[in-house]
Amino acid sequence: MNQHRSRRTRVVRVDPLEPDPAAIEEAAALVRSGGLVAFPTETVYGLGANALDEDAVRSIFTAKERDASDPLIVHLADVSALASVAASVPPLAMHLLGRFAPGPLTVVLPRAAAVAPSVSAGLATVAVRIPSHPVARALISASGVPIAAPSANRFTRTSATTAAHVLEDLDGRIDLVLDGGPAPAGIESTVVSVEGDTAFVLRAGALTAEDLAAALPPGARVESADPGVAHASPGMLERHYAPRKPLTLVRVSGAHGAMALAAAIRAAIAAGETPGVLLLEEDALSVAPLSPLVRASLGSGSDPAVVARRLYAAMRELDRSHATVLFARTIPPVGLGVAINDRLKRAAARLIEV
């Protein structure tokens, strides 16, 4: 039998704000006994296992077909649990946690010995986050252990923002999905490491650089880590968060994004393809005459919170459609736009710069 498809995956619906304690206890018992439970967080769905149980953590990598060199985030119920997974917490990290936990901030800290080695993929550090979603919090509290959880998707695919997405990728590979409805932010947490007075953003995410900067203590600063050098995250592969079909990304720096997008789509139609587009409202008129064209709406680029919430669901929708090739364009790089553009770039097989 295929080792990946040996479990029966149960789906249990829970109220996202007041989850049923019996459902949470069932999930917590599975975590304590080494099982795999997918659960909603405020960012995306996580695939959780007991972070202190090496075998359980390894089974996360098996279920996802994730590369063992890509470390996981450990989820805690509150800051008082930090000492169980981190050897120490630098002052700037503590300050940021004090300001943003619970919430979509992940901090990289020196690792405590109790953490299962596979969590950190051999690093001396551990990434830690305290989610704010009531289902995630209830599950971690009831489990009584820290929960290691990557996004609940197959390796290199887009993160799952609904229970249906989790099943698309992991049905038969995990024990349980707590279905708490769509994940509110729709994009992953911001990963930060700290060195003295500098916070390095290793992965842009749901917590914006502007919010981080505004919360810094006097004398501290925030920098985005240059991928490929000293502070980069090992898991930040160039091609990641990707749909199955090849995505062409129009990278817009000027004002002609809609025209460039329409031109690229027109060329694909002329070549006999059926394009699918991640469509911004402001581009709707420009692509209106184009046919055939499969459209998945992202809302307006001026409302990046909506774009973030829809992004992965729209990619999965186009993957399921009869489109043969996919198109998208970047949005203004402010606020959540930075994380959205980052994910689009990693999803892209081809870039057109305009």
Considering only 16, 19, 35, 71, the residue that binds ligand TXA (CB under 6 A) is 71
Instruction: Answer whether 141's CB lies under 8 Å from 244's CB.
Output: no
51 forms part of the interface with ligand TXA (CB under 6 A): no
Q: Which residue is nearest to Mg ion (CB)?
A: 151
286 forms part of the interface with ligand TXA (CB under 6 A): no
Considering only 79, 94, 123, 290, the residue that binds ligand TXA (CB under 6 A) is 123
**By C-beta, is 68 or 334 nearer to Mg ion?**
68
Considering only 203, 310, 316, 345, the residue that binds ligand TXA (CB under 6 A) is 203
d(CA 101, CA 82): 12
Min CB(241)–Mg ion separation in Å: 7
Give the single-character DSSP code of 7: S
The interface with Mg ion within residues 147-176 (CB under 5 A) comprises 151
208 forms part of the interface with ligand TXA (CB under 6 A): no
3-class DSSP assignment, residue 86:
strand
Min CB(34)–Mg ion separation in Å: 22
**By C-beta, is 70 or 283 nearer to ligand TXA?**
70
H helix and E strand count, the chain: 10, 16
**By C-beta, is 129 or 295 nearer to ligand TXA?**
129
User: 7 Cβ partners below 8 Å, 6+ apart?
Assistant: 36, 172, 173, 174, 175
**By C-beta, is 126 or 142 nearer to ligand TXA?**
126
User: 155 Cβ partners below 8 Å, 6+ apart?
Assistant: 64, 65, 66, 67, 70
189 forms part of the interface with ligand TXA (CB under 6 A): yes
d(CA 146, CA 115): 9
Min CB(297)–ligand TXA separation in Å: 24
Min CB(240)–Mg ion separation in Å: 7
Residue 26: in which H helix or E strand, if any?
A: helix 21-32
Total residues in contact with ligand TXA, by rule CB under 6 A = 28
**By C-beta, is 53 or 188 nearer to ligand TXA?**
188
Identify the burial level of 69 via C-beta atoms within 10 angstroms of its C-beta, where 0-12 means exposed, 13-18 middle and 19 or more buried. Answer: exposed
Binding piece for ligand TXA, criterion CB under 6 A, among 6-14, 18-26, 126-134, 311-319: 126-134
**By C-beta, is 286 or 341 nearer to Mg ion?**
341
User: 128 Cβ partners below 8 Å, 6+ apart?
Assistant: 73, 74, 75, 76, 82, 85, 86, 106, 107, 108, 109
d(CA 49, CA 35): 6
**By C-beta, is 108 or 262 nearer to ligand TXA?**
108
Min CB(227)–Mg ion separation in Å: 16
3-class DSSP assignment, residue 206:
coil
Q: How far is CA 252 from CA 269, 285, 345, in A?
A: 21, 18, 12
d(CA 200, CA 194): 6
Closest Cα to residue 159, out of 178, 130, 135, 183? Answer: 183
- Select from Mg ion, ligand TXA, none the partner in contact with residue 72, using the beta carbon and a kind-dependent cut-off of 5 to 8 Å: ligand TXA
158 forms part of the interface with ligand TXA (CB under 6 A): no
- Select from Mg ion, ligand TXA, none the partner in contact with residue 43, using the beta carbon and a kind-dependent cut-off of 5 to 8 Å: ligand TXA
d(CA 108, CA 191): 7
List interacting residues with Mg ion (CB under 5 A): 151
List interacting residues with ligand TXA (CB under 6 A): 41, 43-44, 46, 70-73, 106, 108, 120, 123, 125-127, 129, 149-151, 188-189, 191, 202-203, 233-236
